[in-house]
Each structure stands twice: as C-alpha cells, then as structure tokens.
Amino acid sequence: MNLIVAADKEWGIGKNGDLLDNIPEDMKFFRETTLDKVVIMGAVTLRSLPNEKPLPKRVNLILCNDNSLDDRDDLTIFPSMEECVEYALKNYKSEDIFFIGGASVYNACTDFIDTAYITKIDKAYGADRFIKNFDEMENWEIAEEREQITEKGLKLTFTTYKKTSNN
C-alpha cells in the first residue's frame, strides 16, 4: 500500500483545513498516480473536496468514526483503519491502494504502507497539519528522487520512499 502527499520543508501538509498550495505539476502527479486506483481518506479530507464528492475514476474508501456520513450512498465508509485496510487488501491489489489524507490518516497508516510518494516543497508555509518526517524514520529510505523542478517560483522534488523493514 502507498501514501501520496505534498509536504513543505517542515513536513507540513495543510493549513486552516486546506492544502498548503495549489501546484499544478503536483496535482497532475497525484491525478496520474491515483487514477483507476483505490484512495483511502478521512472524512475531513472528503469534506475538503469540491462539493464533498468522491474523487472520480477511483474507488473511494472513507474513514469516519461517527455517523455523520451514514446517509451517503455514494461512499464506502469504515469506522476504523484496521477494517478499511482489511477490506482494501481483500478486494484490491496492495500496490493499487493509496492513502491520501488527512494528517491523522497519514500518521496512522505508516504501519500498513511500504511506499510513500512525497512531493517535497522547498518552502515553509507555517502549516498546522503535519506528517511524520520520513527522512528521520529508521525503517524508510529514499528509493527514487526525481530532478528538482521549479513551478510557481517553488522548488519541488518528487521523492519515493520505500520501507526497508517492519520495525
């Protein structure tokens, strides 16, 4: 299973309930990487999407531990990470499953994933939502780092981390 996110130089991922920035090249990478795949997100992330609609051309699995989304028949909802992961792995290939946010989902999924696609933004935004620093996690290493690009005056590095052990 995978994680996909854009993070600033302080590993911030959001501020005031929104993404840090709208970076077309990162959005394109997200779209291309997750298209026709399975995405797992929390209820807050779902509510941040346009019209609170699931992402098109993807299987959307939603983590929600209250009944606030129970009346939505366009969603597949799970009350716990464990139940969601069990369902996803039973019905889909592990490499086709992507955790897409928010911060609590990202930080809870690291035991389940083996690959993390992180777009590193060389700027600090003063974020209020963060993910774990993969550079400081002993059982993760950089498997691929694409050449840095500049977009909207920002330096971006598309980085792929792989888990080296389950410790």
This model's pTM is above 0.85: yes
How sure is the predictor about 112, in pLDDT bands with cuts at 50, 70 and 90?
A: very high
CATH number at residue 138: 3.40.430.10
- Could you tell me the two tokens for 138? 């002993």
Residue (of 110, 105, 117, 98) closest to 38 by Cα position: 98
Q: Say how many domains are in the chain.
A: 1
Q: Judge whether 104 and 130 are in contact, CB under 8 Å.
A: no
Q: Judge whether 159 and 46 are in contact, CB under 8 Å.
A: no
The gap from C-alpha 53 to its chain's centroid, in whole angstroms, comes to 17
Percent above pLDDT 70 for the chain: 99
**The pLDDT of residue 131:** 97
SS3 content of the chain, % helix, strand, coil (to 5): 25, 35, 40
Q: Got the DSSP string for 64-119? A: -SSSTTTT-TT-EEESSHHHHHHHHHHHS-GGGEEEEE-HHHHHHHTTT-SEEEEE
How sure is the predictor about 103, in pLDDT bands with cuts at 50, 70 and 90?
A: very high
**The pLDDT of residue 30:** 97
Which of the residue ranges 4-13, 40-49, 127-136 would you say has the lowest mean pLDDT? 40-49
Q: What residue numbers bound the domain in which 75 lies?
A: 2-163
In this predicted model, what pLDDT tens digit does every residue of 12-55 receive, in sequence order?
Answer: 999 998 899 999 999 999 999 999 999 999 999 998 888 889 99
In this predicted model, what pLDDT tens digit does every residue of 47-93 receive, in sequence order?
Answer: 888 888 999 999 999 999 887 777 788 889 999 999 999 999 999 99
**The pLDDT of residue 73:** 80
Mean pLDDT of the chain: 94
- Could you tell me the two tokens for 65? 């531990």
Contacts of 126 (CB under 8 A, 6+ apart): 12, 15
Location of structure tokens 């389950």: 166
- Could you tell me the two tokens for 153? 């005056």
